[in-house]
Structure 1
Amino acid sequence: MFEALLIVLMQFVIVPLTTLRTVFVVKGRIQQASMIGGLEALIYVISLSLIFSDLTNYMNMIAYAVGYAGGVILGGKLEEKLAIGYRTVNVSLMQRNEQLTDLLRSQGYGVTTFIGEGRDGEKRYRLDILVKRSREKALMELLETEEPKAFIVAYEPTNFKGGYLVKSMKRAGNKMKKDNGTTKDEEKSK
């Protein structure tokens, strides 16, 4: 019984680690993914050795399956909580809404506006918003409150360069370096 409980616990650890490793690989964070992968492999070998040491112990096999299923849930919750990365949110409006654009910008969202044409030739207005995934829910709630009839599409960009958000991230990074006592010149000399 102790082995079965240990196997469940190991699966509760390994499967969320697998989720994180996958996210890190997709986001290009190969070093973090590699470290997680090594830990994953160690846990995997230990848990499987417990199962293969006695193939008549069905409790261990069931424990592995139950732990794996629970680990998938935990991994999904962990990934959702960490919300690593960015989302691009396209908001299509029937009418121009400068108040919404100003409100979004005042709350730190990078917003680009476009004028387009609908099916019957009428003007449509689109907002392109790049947002950290950790702030996506708050953005969606704000959009629902301010423009409940808006057509909204959100997707994950794979790469981006320049723009408001990148500039603000660089400023924040430089401020952190300055607060830590290093300057740009010191960083370059390292």
Structure 2
Amino acid sequence: MLTILIAIFVIQIVYVSFFTLRMIMTLKGQRYIAAGLSSIEIIIYVLGLNMVLQYLDEPISLIVYAVGYGIGVLVGTWIEDKIALGYVTLKVIINDPESSLPNHLRDLGYGVTTWLGSGRDGHRLMLEVLARRKNCNKLYTSILERDPKAFIVTSEPTRLHGGFWAKATRK
């Protein structure tokens, strides 16, 4: 019975990890990869469910199935964090309109667009910074090292067109 429980547990982790990755690929517009993952995912799902249904008289099998599902969510999101597909846009507002932060970020390879804005207490420098998602934390840290009081809002663009990154984003 221990072997069956371990198998149920592992199958659930793998199944839910595939499920999580498939959903992310679908949201990122990677239809064909998502379709391929879903084919594998459903095979794994049926195998795991079949095992649990064969041992319904053993409540521990259902508990292991549920715990495996929860851990599968964690593993799937961990994998997704590691591959970090796509891009992020950071909208940054800093108090010093003469700040060297935009040029510093450009020197680091980020796409930066700036303009002046008006806040409650005067002019502010507004930045919009495009980066690969896997570089988001590094970018965030670079901004806060230069200006710890920066106001930052992060979003994920769904489509990109034009700009100096156009060729790089198509790859």
TM-score, length basis structure 2: 0.94
Matches within 5 A, 1:19-98: 19-98=20-99
Q: In the TM superposition, what is the alpha-carbon distance from 1:96 to its structure 2 partner?
A: 2.0
Indicate how the Cα distance of structure 1 residues 14 and 97 shifts in structure 2: closer, same or farther if over 3 A, else same: farther
State the 4+ residue runs in structure 1 displaced beyond 4 angstroms. Answer: none
Partners of 2:24 and 2:98 lie apart in 1 by 36
Matched residue, 1:112: 113
Q: In the TM superposition, what is the alpha-carbon distance from 1:167 to its structure 2 partner?
A: 3.5
Deviations 1:92-112 (A, max 9, x none): 011124421111111110000
Deviations 1:12-31 (A, max 9, x none): 11111111101100011000
Matched residue, 1:162: 162
Q: In the TM superposition, what is the alpha-carbon distance from 1:160 to its structure 2 partner?
A: 1.8
CA RMSD of aligned residues (A): 1.3
Partners of 2:3 and 2:53 lie apart in 1 by 16
Partners of 1:43 and 1:57 lie apart in 2 by 21
Partners of 2:167 and 2:80 lie apart in 1 by 26
Matched residue, 1:144: 144
Deviations 1:125-174 (A, max 9, x none): 1010011000001001101100100100001111121112224446xx5x
Partners of 1:168 and 1:29 lie apart in 2 by 17
Size of the aligned set, in residue pairs, is 170
Partners of 1:107 and 1:81 lie apart in 2 by 21
SS of the aligned residue for 1:36 comes to helix
Partners of 1:84 and 1:95 lie apart in 2 by 33
SS of the aligned residue for 1:95 comes to coil
Q: In the TM superposition, what is the alpha-carbon distance from 1:85 to its structure 2 partner?
A: 0.6
Percentage of matched positions with identical amino acids: 36
Aligned partners of 2:97 and 2:123 also within 8 Å: no
Indicate how the Cα distance of structure 1 residues 168 and 6 shifts in structure 2: closer, same or farther if over 3 A, else same: closer
Partners of 1:93 and 1:13 lie apart in 2 by 44
Unaligned runs of 5+ in 2: none
Partners of 1:107 and 1:142 lie apart in 2 by 9
Matched residue, 2:131: 131
SS of the aligned residue for 1:16 comes to helix
